[in-house]
């Protein structure tokens, strides 16, 4: 299996991503690290530990990471993810605490100890990853690829042009994009497309198995219409879980290697991922003057049915 580490801000859809990663036979989830984003970092740690327990994986090391972005103050997304950051589903508190090691130290240890190069999957603001890359640059020798949920080619969500994870800590995202490791950007353009239809969500919610049932409850909390009623409309987006699908089944997305830069200036474009889609002489040719390290495999299309099928088949395993 592919060694994987998820860095998250659990988060309704981060929880969907964790459930998938734990249950996919082709993935070896070696650690999970937490960062402030959807809610404060202690809330993220609690949610993450609870979800791993419900998924039947109570032993995966969980590291507590950054409390706030590199430069910005912390800002939560409670309006999207509920007061507890997890849809206010009334989940029980976890039975254990986070690892004694902080997230960055845990990431370093787990990456360097992995039997083969690790795929890192950040589904949150990139603060922990930026700190890791700056503090322990040697980790890149055992990183296969970073597949991150963040950014947008077209429209944003936190602002008209910026996606939440990049907008929350733009400097951290810029550090990631110039790290010199292969990167896949699973941005809003594909993220928003993968929706599980109501009948399937209903079936998950009726399951006798706790992890499967949790997936259903979480999906129902992500109605396709903003502010929609979860009882009336159970269909819900996979969100961050789509990025983990892209690790397990990369054929499900169509990517192009494109220059991507984060807008770091103050003003309405701060946090925008500027993706250069101008026609180029050949897909593999790099324009003169382009910095090679800013080229990113950007997901432009996703096979929605394929990922919905994959997700359902995976989370119903136990």
The binding site for Ca ion (CB under 5 A) comprises: 9, 11, 14, 123-124, 240
Q: Which does 194 bind (CB under 5 to 8 A by kind): Ca ion, ligand BDR, none?
A: none
CB 257, min distance to Ca ion, A: 25
Q: How far is 171 from 127, CA to CA, in rounded Å?
A: 8
CB 124, min distance to ligand BDR, A: 6
The bridge status of strand 253-262 relative to strand 295-302 is: antiparallel
Q: How far is 118 from 110, CA to CA, in rounded Å?
A: 9
CB 206, min distance to Ca ion, A: 27
Given 3-state DSSP classes, what are the helix, strand and coil percentages for the chain, each rounded to the nearest 5?
35, 20, 45
Q: Which does 164 bind (CB under 5 to 8 A by kind): Ca ion, ligand BDR, none?
A: ligand BDR
Nearer to ligand BDR, 114 or 238 (CB): 238
Quick one: tokens of 139?
């980790």
Which spans of this chain sit near ligand BDR (rule: CB under 6 A)? 11, 13-14, 38, 77, 80, 123-124, 149, 157, 163-165, 239-240
Nearer to ligand BDR, 11 or 63 (CB): 11
CB 69, min distance to ligand BDR, A: 14
Alpha helices in 222-301 (DSSP H): 241-248
Nearer to ligand BDR, 114 or 271 (CB): 271
Q: Which does 163 bind (CB under 5 to 8 A by kind): Ca ion, ligand BDR, none?
A: ligand BDR
Q: Which does 157 bind (CB under 5 to 8 A by kind): ligand BDR, Ca ion, none?
A: ligand BDR
Q: Taking Cα atoms as reference points, which of 93, 88, 85 lies closest to residue 34?
A: 85
Q: How far is 159 from 139, CA to CA, in rounded Å?
A: 33
Residue number of the CB atom closest to ligand BDR: 164
Cβ within 8 Å of residue 233, ≥6 positions away: 198, 223, 224, 225
Q: Which does 169 bind (CB under 5 to 8 A by kind): Ca ion, ligand BDR, none?
A: none
Q: Which does 189 bind (CB under 5 to 8 A by kind): Ca ion, ligand BDR, none?
A: none
Nearer to Ca ion, 18 or 298 (CB): 18
Taking each helix axis as running N to C, give the angle between helix 12-23 and helix 41-54, from 0 to 180 degrees, rounded to the nearest 10. 40
Taking each helix axis as running N to C, give the angle between helix 198-205 and helix 210-220, from 0 to 180 degrees, rounded to the nearest 10. 140
Nearer to Ca ion, 186 or 259 (CB): 186
The bridge status of strand 62-64 relative to strand 118-122 is: unpaired
Q: Which does 234 bind (CB under 5 to 8 A by kind): ligand BDR, Ca ion, none?
A: none
Nearer to ligand BDR, 114 or 296 (CB): 296
Nearer to Ca ion, 49 or 124 (CB): 124
Q: How far is 189 from 17, CA to CA, in rounded Å?
A: 18
């Amino acid at each position: 299996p592919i060694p994987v580490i998820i860095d998250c801000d659990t988060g309704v859809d981060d929880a969907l991503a964790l459930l998938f990663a734990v249950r996919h036979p082709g993935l070896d989830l070696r650690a999970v690290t937490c960062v402030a984003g959807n809610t404060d970092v202690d809330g993220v740690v609690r949610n993450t530990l609870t979800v791993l327990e419900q998924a039947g994986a109570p032993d995966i090391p969980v590291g507590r990471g950054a409390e706030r972005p590199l430069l910005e103050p912390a800002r939560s997304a409670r309006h999207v993810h509920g007061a507890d950051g997890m849809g206010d589903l009334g989940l029980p508190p976890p039975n254990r605490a986070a690892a004694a090691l902080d997230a960055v130290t845990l990431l370093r240890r787990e990456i360097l100890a992995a039997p083969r190069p690790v795929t890192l999957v950040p589904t949150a603001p990139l603060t922990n990853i930026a700190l890791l890359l700056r503090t322990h640059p040697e980790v890149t020798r055992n990183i296969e690829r970073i597949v991150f949920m963040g950014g947008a080619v077209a429209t944003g969500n936190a602002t008209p042009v910026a996606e939440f994870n990049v907008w929350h800590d733009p400097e951290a995202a810029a550090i990631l994009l110039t790290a010199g490791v292969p990167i896949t950007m699973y941005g809003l353009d594909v993220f928003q497309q993968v929706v599980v239809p109501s009948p399937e969500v209903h079936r998950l919610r009726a399951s006798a198995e706790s992890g499967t049932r949790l997936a259903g409850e979480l999906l129902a909390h992500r109605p396709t219409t903003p502010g929609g009623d979860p009882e009336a409309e159970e269909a819900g987006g996979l969100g961050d879980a789509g990025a983990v699908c892209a690790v397990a089944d990369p054929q499900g997305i169509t990517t192009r290697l494109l220059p991507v830069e984060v807008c770091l200036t103050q003003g309405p474009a701060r946090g925008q991922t500027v993706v250069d889609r101008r026609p180029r002489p050949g897909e593999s040719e790099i324009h003169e003057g382009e910095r090679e390290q800013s080229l990113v495999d950007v997901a432009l299309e996703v096979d929605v049915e394929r990922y919905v099928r994959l997700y359902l088949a995976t989370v119903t395993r136990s």
